[in-house]
Amino acid sequence: MLASLLEVKGLETQFKTPDGFVHAVNGVSFSMEEGETLGIVGESGCGKSVTMLSILRLIPVPPGKIAAGEVLYRGMDLLKLSDEEIRHVRGAQISMVFQDPMTSLNPVLTIGVQMEESLMLHLGMNRKQARARSAELLSMVGIPRAKDRLPDYPHQFSGGMRQRVMIAMALSCDPQILIADEPTTALDVTIQAQIIELVKRLRDDLGMAIIWITHDLGVVAGLAKRVIVMYGGYIIEEAPVKELYTNLQHPYTIGLMGSLPRVDAKEHHRLTSIDGHPPVLYEKPNQCPFVPRCTYAIERCWKENPPLEMILQDHRVACWVDTKTRSAR
């Protein structure tokens, strides 16, 4: 059996606050293969972004701390690398595109300077080679007159164009994994569609694996091969994308899907909402973290946190209730 490209085992991340430690990520485990697109969904504060920042060791210490776990990239534990060694992994082998490009780009440096930096650092190019490669990358992501735009500053680009610049920078060193952290959230729907199509085309052309973080199940439907649903720092459901959409199992995933407008629906249905608020985990729960908001809850849900278990082939769920029959599993 071939080793996974990326394997995360029992990852736990905490943040120290005046009120105590917040357990932001709690024992997250998953793996992905070469060229796979993995979707990670959940509402704000569920631990999606913190998980990815932990993988790249970008958690600010203090107040953050990776308390436990392993992150194996091609068998190498990223959590055990020195600061110098992890710097050679970031950007070169695993790249990340953040939600807001305006806060990710340096406003006082030109786009060209910012793109050339990583090419010279990771690939050993001189400035002339790096400038030529930067223009090629901007052209690849659909920015017209790419060579002429290199001397421009971030504020001279529109929001969609800035996100394209960020994608070009992330791809500059031909990474094996691209992590996209809600890269279309701040954009209008037309530009969102263009960015998603761009990422799909680049994935197919370059053969890289993608982790796409979002709160929108609709976005990952046509993009991902497999979907992980997170809540309260836990993975609560994981399945291939077609299996997940046709066989929802966890009450939270059902709630997320119920809040999504459907253009293919034959009848009109009122969109549903999930009452309540996400948990603030100052202590690891001894009950299901979703139980205060769950309409399927049974007595056991209030007493014990369910483990993530396989219920069908490649379909894992953390729930004590069979939501199809409303009976205990």
- Whole-number average pLDDT of the chain: 88
Is 237's pLDDT higher than 70?
yes
User: For residues 139 and 317, what is the distance between their CA atoms, to the nearest angstrom?
Assistant: 43
Per-residue exposure over 119-131, b if at least 16 CB sit within 10 Å of its own CB, e if not: beebeebeeeebb
DSSP 78-126: GGGS-HHHHHHHBTTTEEEE-S-HHHHS-TTS-HHHHHHHHHHHHH---
Place 259 in a pLDDT band, splitting at 50, 70 and 90: confident
The pLDDT, as a whole number, for residue 90 is 87
Q: Give percent of the chain with pLDDT exceeding 90.
A: 48
The pLDDT, as a whole number, for residue 97 is 87
Place 2 in a pLDDT band, splitting at 50, 70 and 90: low
Higher pLDDT, 266 or 278: 278
Torsion of CA 165, 167, 169, 171, to 10 degrees: -150
**What pTM, to 2 d.p., does this model score?**
0.88
Place 169 in a pLDDT band, splitting at 50, 70 and 90: confident
Report residue 95 as tokens: 């790249």
The pLDDT, as a whole number, for residue 62 is 85
The pLDDT, as a whole number, for residue 3 is 67
Query: Each residue of 16-45: pLDDT tens digit?
Result: 999 889 999 999 999 999 989 999 998 888
Is 1's pLDDT higher than 60?
no
Nearest to 261 by CA among 215, 212, 213, 218: 218
Query: Each residue of 40-93: pLDDT tens digit?
Result: 998 888 889 999 999 999 998 889 999 999 999 998 999 999 998 998 898 889
User: For residues 56 and 226, what is the distance between their CA atoms, to the nearest angstrom?
Assistant: 21
Place 186 in a pLDDT band, splitting at 50, 70 and 90: low
User: For residues 174 and 183, what is the distance between their CA atoms, to the nearest angstrom?
Assistant: 19
Please provide residue 163's backbone torsions phi and psi, each rounded to the nearest 5 degrees. -65, -35
Is 101's pLDDT higher than 80?
no
